Structures are given as C-alpha cells and as structure tokens.
Amino acid sequence: MSSTKSVIISAAGLGSRLGLAKTKALININGKSLIRWQLDLFKDVEDVRIVVGFQAHDVIDEVRGYRDDVIFVYNHNYFDSKTGASYYLGARDGNELAIEFDGDLLVHPEDMQMLLEQEGEWIAYADKMSDDAVLVKTNQVGDVLSFSRERGDYEWTGPCCVTKDKLRYSSGHVFNQLEPYLPMRGIKIRACDIDTYEDYQRALEFIKRW
C-alpha cells in the first residue's frame, strides 16, 4: 500500500449505548475482539494509528498481543468529544492521506481492500442497517452531497479518506469534518456499524457471511 496513507482507528469512546460495559474495541465478535477483526483488515498497511481513551490500557494490551508496530495516540478528552476529534488527533502526525475507521465498524474484507487501493479522497457508505444511523444523500454517480439524521439514500458508516490538512480539532463527529468539503466522491461498500445491542446481533450475522 502507498506510504502516503495512514489508517486512523478511532477507539477512544465509551460505547455506552451498546450496554456491554466495555469499549467497543474489546467486545467479542465470534470469538475475537472487534479491534482484532479490524486489524486483520489492515495487516498490509504500514502506518496504523489507534486513538485510545476509555480503557486505553486494555485496548493497548489487546492490540500489542496481535501487532507490535501500531502507533497509539491518546484522546484525553474522550468523554466530551466525538470521533471527529480522534480523527484529527490520529492524523495530524501521520501521512498526507488519512483513512478514518471508526472503532465500532466492520467492513467486508473485499470492500476494505478495494478502498485501500483507491487514489485520492473518498467517503464510503452502505445500505441502511443500523438503528441510529446518520444518512447520506448521493447524486446519480454516487458522490456524497450531504449528511442528515432524517433522510438520505444510504447510511454513513465510514470509512473515509481525506488529506490531513483538511482536519481541525473539533468535539463533533467525523461527518462534521467532511461537511465543508462536500460534494465528495462516494463509494458504496458492505459494512456494519455497532451502536446498539441490536446492531451487535446484526454484526454477528454480518461476519458469518464473509
């Protein structure tokens, strides 16, 4: 993979809506932690940066048991900030292009490999599946035109890829970081976002179809 790209996994949050009393990175998905499923997707990526906060030491121990060259970045304000802050913090000392990957996301391996091979900037989205989704509106060629809680053609799941100089420290979400630059190239993928326990159950079925 091009050395001009870094992968930023945002794994700092509490995961409180899931109700399993642990950060989503450590939840068990068919016998393996979610963060390990994610690291499998990036086994050929040289520069992987994981943003940690809640239960940081447990996440670091889990990752180091699997891979010892990951860079860890702390989001000390994880309680009062969203993934937009983690994206900025993880990307600022990385390579020119920063691929953001939420810590509660699963993407089909074939689709993630396709995304890693893309040139330039893009936003990925999927068919609507989650209980509490942010939606995207697209045009006829699939470009992302807007994000909305109320209406849209697909679900915004991430990941996305932008140059790091577009990112600013913000307490908001990743899609808030992207909104000033819309429209942007969009790519439809197979993905599952895990926000609620019902999403978690869907994720177990999603992986079985790999």
Write out pLDDT tens, residues 56-101.
Answer: 999 999 999 999 999 999 999 998 889 999 999 999 999 999 999 9
Ranges of each domain in the chain: 5-208
Q: What is the CATH code of the structural domain delimited by 5-208? A: 3.90.550.10
Helices and strands in the chain: count of H runs, count of E runs? 6, 14
pLDDT digits (tens, 9 = 90+) for 165-200: 999 999 899 999 999 999 999 999 999 999 888 889
Residue 78: name the closest of 9, 34, 14 by CA. Answer: 14
Give the pLDDT confidence of 97-153 residue by residue, as tens digits: 999 999 999 999 999 999 999 999 999 999 998 877 899 999 999 999 999 999 999
User: CB neighbours of 205 closer than 8 A, spacing ≥ 6?
Assistant: none
Distance CA 8, CA 23 (A): 17
What is the distance between the alpha carbons of residues 136 and 190, in angstroms, rounded to a whole number? 15
pLDDT of residue 32: 94
Q: What is the DSSP letter of 44?
A: T
Q: What pLDDT shows up at residue 3? A: 62
CB 107 within 8 A of CB 34: no
> How many residues are present in the chain?
210
- Report how far apart, in Å, the C-alpha atoms of 18 and of each of 78, 172, 195 are: 17, 20, 6
Contact 183, 144 (CB under 8 A): yes
Its pTM stands at: 0.94
What is the C-alpha to C-alpha distance for residues 33 and 170, in angstroms, rounded to an integer? Answer: 29
**Over the stretch 34-58, which tens digit does the pLDDT of each residue have?**
999 999 999 999 999 999 999 999 9
